[in-house]
Amino acid sequence: MPGDDKPTVGTDWHAVAARQDFKDLVRAKARFTVPATIFFVVYYFALPILVGYRSELMQTKVFGPVNLAYLFALSQFFMAWTLAFLYVRAASRWDTMEAEILRTLAKDGDA
C-alpha cells in the first residue's frame, strides 16, 4: 500500500537532505517549478500591461467584436491548463523518485 514505507519520526532528516538522490529530486522539481512560475507570472501580467501601454495594439479586431485583448485573456485559461497538465506529468516522475528514496531509506534502516 502506498505510504507504508514512509520514514518514521526518528529519521535523521539532515542525513536524508544530504543524500545525492534527494538533492536530485529537489533539483528536478526546481528545474520545472522555477521556469514555470516565472513564465506564468510574466504571461499573466502581460495582459494588463499590454492593455495599459499598447492599447491600440490590443484593440486590434481579429473577427467581429473580438479583439486581441479578448483572445489574450482567453488564452490564459489554456495556458493555465497546459501548465497544470505538464506539472502533473512531471510530478509523476518526482513521485517515482521519491518512492525510490523511501525504499532505499527503509532498506538501509534509516527510516
Q: Determine the pLDDT at residue 105.
A: 85
Higher-pLDDT residue of 5 and 107 is 107
Name 63's bridge partners. 66
Residue-range domain boundaries for the chain: 13-108
Q: Band the pLDDT of 12: cuts 50, 70, 90.
A: confident
Cell of 19: 543524500
pLDDT of residue 94 exceeding 90, the answer is yes
pLDDT of residue 26 exceeding 80, the answer is yes
Q: Determine the pLDDT at residue 6.
A: 60
Q: Are 11 and 107 in contact (CB under 8 A)?
A: no
Higher-pLDDT residue of 34 and 5 is 34
105: exposed, middle or buried (Cβ count in 10 Å: 0-12, 13-18, 19+):
buried
Stretch 8-25: mean pLDDT, rounded? 85
Phi, psi of 66 (to 5 degrees): -80, 125
